[in-house]
Amino acid sequence: MKTKIFNFILLCYLGFYGLAYAEPESLRGTDMSEQLESIGDPFLQAEHLFHAGDFLEAKPYYHEYLSQNPSGKRSHQAFYRLGSVDQANKSYSTAIRFYQMLLQNYPRSIWANSARFNMAVCYYELEDYDNAESMFKMVLRSTTDNKRKWNILIHLARIDVGRMSFEKAFIKLRKVYTQNENEDIRNNVEAIAKDLISDKLGEDKVSNLIQKLGTGFPVDLLLLRKVSIARAAGDISNYVATLKKFIELFPGHPLRGEMETRINNVEADAGTKIKIGVVLPLTGKLALTGQRVLQGIQLAVNQLPFQAREKLALEVRDSGSQASISKIISEVSDIPSVVGIIGPLLSDEVKVAGEMARKKQIPVFSPTASTNGLVDENPFLFRNALTRRIQAKFLAQYSVNTLHLKRFAVLHPYEPFGLELKETFINEVESLGGEIVAIAGYDRSQNDFKKQILELGGVEDDDLDKIAREMVLEDRIMPDFSDSSTLSRPLIDMGHWSGDDVEKLKVSLELSYDAIFIPGVYDKVGLIIPQLAFYNINKAVLLGAKGWNSPELVRMGGKYLKTVYFVDGYYPDSHQIEVRKFVENFITNFGEEPTNLSAQAFDAANIVIKNILAGADNRIKFLESLRNVKSFPGVTGKTTLLPSGDSEKNIFALTVKRKKIVQQN
């Protein structure tokens, strides 16, 4: 597999750098495989493999040819091929040595100029800029290939970047861009300039370069970067001034209309100091969900004192319409008074929004998206969702540290959420010094869980009684739990026996573990729990996640719900004052009880509002403030935002008492 990947990379490399192959006249019009069979020449074998894409397999044949023919007529080409393969494999120093051998022994070879160019590229990759520059200039003086000339100028510009000589780099890039009609080359230069401006240049350097370069490419890109910087800093006057300068210098630019619209938006928006963008589905299939999330956000704003409320406004956009998420995020981001965005709802939408957020440099804070790893790779993405990782990690910590449970079995559904909960729970338990002794899985379609329960050590009544009688009558030694294969054993609670007679025998099942984690949903868990009791697993603590939190579980589980604990991020009947106040205010304002998503949105909005009122009045400050949220006291638990953008929560531990779900922690 690695060889195939390398071969693909080399093919791309050969295409990118335009490495030409001049086929020898003696081979033209002939079938290579026939020559291989008749001649057996290692060079021809190497060439056959090389052109078939088997580059690594070709190497030893080139070496064999060179060892047999150190001064052969094809040696120069063999050196060139070996250099090309090593260069594509990022073995730059080795590649340089092969190119040097070619140039020392065959300075007039048809491969000489290509070898010099490739050597220069290798020196550049090794950050040996002096040798790279010298070699590129040598090729530039001698080549007649215009495409290669432009390519060399681009590399020389990159060398200037490596030396932090940005003005020189842009002058070279400008020359290539303005004097070239090849669209591919122009697009490549524009992409390089955009990356350079975005990654390397701060506000002062951008302003300095605009002044020095005057107009034309890449001043338009520099001005756009300055617009972005001013917007992120909330510097409205500089933002507008830069937009106007862009229109003045580039009156015929395709973006002129967009720049004029932005200026008009600022003038229309002049009365508001700070805005919070809100992107939610308010029409379409998810309209009800979006409305409940919006209500949570609105309640957070409405509860502010009048003076604080006057400083803020919500910029609400409907993502349930036909417009794409990317377009909506872009439009909201173009309003400079918007410091951050709450939303979207769905993980796929958040991923798309994240790419635009990175481009516009605006924080996006989703109160609901829960897909694993969603925010990890994007510094502008945050979330306040109750993820599976949060649930499983908290439950493991609560079980080991608070309930003092040590040994666990796991019975999980073969579904993505069940597998993720299982893996996180196991990893966290083991990191805390606990032990997982058994794991079994079930399908969503199942209603009979006998097979899985037996795998966890369950035993039917008749079998349990039989095993116990045999142990008594045969005076067997009790199975030892130190044997990992022993998950259960009979425990004789009462009985009389003499000889072959056993009377009034009462037996229960002793387990080698303390608890069973079942990361399922209430409909299946409600079937599993009575079946566990049927197979005499009735003393283990039963543990669950958010999927358990339903009155239906209490109805289905009935008397078998003895010692159970599960978790959720929101519990409306909580004894905590903050939660009770939130529920009361929500009902007063909207005439209905809040959902867990309303609660998550309420907390997300309060985190945003608190940071803005504490001084995070532009995107730069707001982004930094989100990274420093620690133990925020919300109605969905204490929340800390991690460096990854994910949230860590101290959530609710729930149990069942007197046929009601109640808070335990």
What are the structural domain ranges in the chain? 2-143, 201-270, 273-384+577-645, 390-568
The whole-angstrom separation of Cα 419 and Cα 152 is 52
Measured CA to CA, the distance from residue 505 to residue 462 in angstroms comes to 12
Give the pLDDT confidence score for residue 493 in this predicted structure. Answer: 66
CATH superfamily of 2-143: Tetratricopeptide repeat domain (1.25.40.10)
Contacts of 260 (CB under 8 A, 6+ apart): 247
CB atoms within 10 A of CB 237: 9
pLDDT reported for residue 496: 54
Helices (DSSP H) in 432-572: which residue ranges?
A: 450-455, 461-473, 522-534, 551-557
Residues 6+ apart with CB under 8 A from 37: none
Q: What is the pLDDT at residue 10?
A: 46
Distance, CA of 46 to CA of 8 (rounded, Å): 18
Nearest to 299 by CA among 621, 593, 647: 593
Question: 10-residue block means of pLDDT along the chain (665 residues)?
Answer: 45 42 35 48 89 88 91 92 92 96 93 94 96 94 88 93 93 92 90 90 92 94 94 90 95 94 83 89 94 98 93 94 89 94 95 94 95 91 94 97 97 96 98 97 96 96 83 73 87 62 76 97 96 96 96 94 95 93 97 95 98 95 96 94 92 94 91
Alpha-carbon gap, residue 151 to 229, rounded angstroms: 31
| List of residues 6+ apart from 215 with CB closer than 8 A | 249, 250
pLDDT at residue 199, rounded to an integer: 84
User: CATH code for 390-568?
Assistant: 3.40.50.2300
Average per-residue pLDDT for the chain: 89
Decide if 571 contacts 652 (C-beta within 8 A).
yes
SS3 182: coil
What backbone phi and psi angles, to 5 degrees, belong to 197?
-65, -40
pLDDT of residue 607: 98
Residue 16: per-residue pLDDT: 42
Instruction: Please tell me if the domain spanning 2-143 has the same topology as the one spanning 390-568.
Output: no
Q: What homologous superfamily does CATH list for 273-384+577-645?
A: Response regulator (3.40.50.2300)
